[in-house]
Amino acid sequence: MDDDAEEYLDPEYDDVAAAGGGEPLPGPFALSQLVTGIHVLAAAAVTPFFLLALRNGDVPQVVTLAALIVMLVLAGVYTGRIARRREP
């Protein structure tokens, strides 16, 4: 068994710590755009179920799904703002 833990904790060999440093994400989107987009896509994925419940006249399910859609969009806006403040 190897007891030399110092070798594994050396920051020179730590690729994750070296890459951290507040650098932006690689790719065309910023973190705030990704966070907001995922929330909006999740709300869009719930929308067909909302419309189906509305068409069937299931009022409790319509209210629940409408509240879920609104909360997803609001959470996306707020978490997007928080992520934007943390971007370099």
Q: For 7-60, what is each residue's pLDDT tens digit?
A: 666 666 555 544 555 566 677 878 888 999 999 999 999 999 999 999 999 999
Q: What pLDDT shows up at residue 86?
A: 78
Q: Rounded to whole angstroms, how far apart are CA atoms 66 and 54?
A: 10
Q: What pLDDT shows up at residue 30?
A: 83
**Single pTM value for the model:** 0.67
Which comes out higher in pLDDT, residue 75 or 12? 75
Q: What pLDDT shows up at residue 9?
A: 60
- Dihedral over Cα of 46, 51, 56, 61: its sign: positive
Q: Rounded to whole angstroms, how far apart are CA atoms 68 and 80?
A: 18
Q: Rounded to whole angstroms, how far apart are CA atoms 1 and 75?
A: 48
Q: Is the pLDDT of residue 2 over 90?
A: no
